[in-house]
Amino acid sequence: MNTNYSLTINDWLNKSEKILRDSNISSSRLDCLMLLEFVLQKTRVHILSEMGYELNQDDLKKLDDFLLLRKDCLPIAYITGSVNFFRRDFFVNQDVLIPRPETEEIISQTLKLNLKNISRIADIGCGSGCIGISLALELPDKKVDLYDLDQKALDVAKINCSRYNLKLNLIKSNLLAKLEDNYDLIVCNLPYVPIDLNVSSEVSYEPKTAVFSGKDGMDLYRKFWNQVNELKSKPVYIITESLIFQHELMENIAKEYSYNIISKNALVQTFSLMA
């Protein structure tokens, strides 16, 4: 885009919102505001109160370059390198899945459990680390370890641990293959999208291995539950995320391996080891 011109924040916002809207980006205004926050390093309140502020050429170029990326459906979180999850900001890049608001329910469901005798928690398939790190911050008296098969994902999780001054164990492992402890609680948001399911343009930018899992989306979860069954010391609780139409199958697999469903909300299911 040619940036050899002058625009106020209001001018740029109106022009850019229309560009995204015409490209069928439903969150056009919100995305433009987030780009303004990112480039100008100002709060939204400040930006909205200074709509007549004239943008300089450097900021205009950055804004227009980022706008083109968003127009091509690159997720806003990958542009800004940041996403909010359970009231905290986490670094993300294209090596990890972008945390969804629905996944916050894993934290909420964990906090509702009787955790008196729970001391060791594992986040399996941690990606950016948002789940495990959130639990470590919410439950500072618990030991939380993070596992992922992808070293690049663990590198992102390490950055997020440093952001919150946490020294958590980051372990490269194919699901439960290299567990370093006997855990009382396992949380996991494994890939669960069926390989033939149509997904949005934004999802196409995310790592496929973090999204898809076989014909019915349950391949990795089958492997996970089989590994759970082989553990000598099984966790008291297991919390998973999957699509609603997969829940009955998940419950049947869990029951086969001695786990009962005790709660579910939206995409999240909580299982307890049978007494």
Tell me the per-residue pLDDT of 115-128, one tens digit each, with 9 for 90 and over.
Answer: 999 999 999 999 99
d(CA 34, CA 54): 18
pLDDT band at 67 (very low <50, low <70, confident <90, very high): very high
> Could you tell me which residues come within 8 angstroms of residue 90 by beta carbon, excluding any fewer than 6 positions away?
82, 83, 84, 99, 128, 129, 130, 133, 160, 163
Query: Which of 132, 124, 167, 183 lies closest to 148, judged by CA?
Result: 124
- Locate CATH 3.40.50.150 in the chain: 96-273
The answer, yes or no, to whether residue 54 has pLDDT greater than 70, is: yes
Eight-state DSSP code of residue 236: S
The answer, yes or no, to whether residue 76 has pLDDT greater than 50, is: yes
The answer, yes or no, to whether residue 52 has pLDDT greater than 70, is: yes
**Which DSSP helix (H) or strand (E) runs through 172?**
strand 169-172
pLDDT tens figures, 192-221: 999 999 888 899 999 999 999 999 999 999
pLDDT tens figures, 220-241: 999 999 999 999 999 999 999 9
The answer, yes or no, to whether residue 5 has pLDDT greater than 70, is: no
Fold classification of 96-273 (topology level): Rossmann fold (3.40.50)
Alpha helices in the chain (DSSP H): 9-22, 28-40, 44-49, 57-71, 76-80, 104-112, 130-138, 151-163, 219-230, 247-256
d(CA 28, CA 216): 33
pLDDT tens figures, 156-177: 999 999 999 999 999 999 999 9
The pLDDT assigned to 6 comes to 81
Judged by DSSP in three states, 68 sits in helix
Of residues 1 and 244, which shows the higher confidence score?
Answer: 244
Q: How many CB atoms lie within 10 A of CB 162?
A: 11
Considering the domain 7-72 in this protein, what is its CATH number? 1.10.8.10
What global pTM score does this model have?
0.93
d(CA 245, CA 250): 10
Tokens 């909010």 belong to residue: 84
- Locate CATH 1.10.8.10 in the chain: 7-72
